[in-house]
């Protein structure tokens, strides 16, 4: 599918409040047929998601330690997770330490998910992922581990106010760029 047709279809699904604010852009190289060009998403004329460049305004993580030490990451811990650690340690660990261990375990899992998502995003082709988005359900795109599918679904007009408001807890465990687009969408409800 040509870029102009793909862009037109993506923009037809944008929520009305974000029309003109969120733009899908692409650059191509006329004399270099082996390069597909660069696609990115701009918000208010600022490049927010460029799949090649890591110097965008959103933080990209390079090590697991960065994620673990980032104080802005809020990881919710459930009673079931604490109970699982209590059973793993056979009750020999003090109660206050169980919470620390559960948080550490969950952040490690979270870091692995973020790295997987970031690496697949940097290797993926925007056109391929956007075409996949147009052929899959909104639920599938929202639940996906793919950052780009999450973003495209969050700015979609088919995702209603009630669903957006009910996703607050899930969004805490997503990549910062997905959280940014979630907050953008919440701000226009």
pLDDT digits (tens, 9 = 90+) for 133-163: 999 999 999 999 888 899 999 999 999 999 9
- The answer to whether the predicted template modeling score (pTM) of the entire model surpasses 0.85 is no
- What pLDDT, on the 0 to 100 scale, is given for residue 72? 76
Q: Is 151:41 a contact under the CB 8 Å cutoff?
A: yes
The end-to-end CA distance of the chain, in Å, is 32
Specify whether the backbone of 20 is left (phi greater than 0), alpha (psi in -120 to 50) or beta.
left
Q: What is the pLDDT of residues 79-107, one digit of tens each?
A: 999 898 889 888 888 888 988 888 888 88
Strand partners, 38: 27
- What pLDDT, on the 0 to 100 scale, is given for residue 120? 64
Q: What is the pLDDT of residues 12-62, one digit of tens each?
A: 999 999 999 999 887 766 665 555 556 778 899 888 877 654 455 556 677
- Please, what's the largest Cα pairwise distance for the chain? 67
CA dihedral 101, 66, 119, 156 (to 10 degrees): 80
H or E element in which residue 43 lies: strand 38-43
Q: Confidence class of residue 122 from pLDDT cuts 50, 70 and 90?
A: low
Residue 130: pLDDT over 90: no
Tell me, what DSSP letter sits at residue 125?
-
């Amino acid at each position: 599918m040509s870029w102009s047709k793909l862009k037109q279809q993506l923009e037809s699904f944008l929520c009305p409040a974000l029309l003109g604010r969120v733009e899908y852009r692409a650059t191509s190289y006329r004399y270099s047929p082996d390069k597909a060009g660069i696609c990115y998403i701009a918000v208010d004329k600022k490049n927010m998601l460029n799949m090649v460049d890591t110097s965008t305004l959103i933080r990209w993580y390079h090590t697991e330690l960065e994620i673990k030490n980032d104080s802005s990451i809020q990881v919710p811990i459930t009673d079931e997770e604490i109970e699982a650690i209590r059973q793993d340690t056979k009750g020999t660990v003090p109660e206050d330490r169980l919470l620390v261990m559960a948080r550490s375990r969950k952040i490690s899992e979270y870091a692995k998910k973020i790295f997987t998502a970031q690496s697949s995003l940097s290797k993926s082709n925007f056109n391929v992922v956007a075409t996949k988005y147009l052929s899959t359900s909104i639920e599938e795109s929202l639940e996906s581990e793919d950052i780009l599918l999450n973003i495209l679904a969050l700015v979609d007009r088919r995702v209603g106010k009630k669903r957006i408001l009910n996703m607050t807890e899930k969004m805490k465990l997503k990549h910062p760029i997905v959280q940014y687009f979630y907050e953008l969408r919440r701000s226009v409800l």
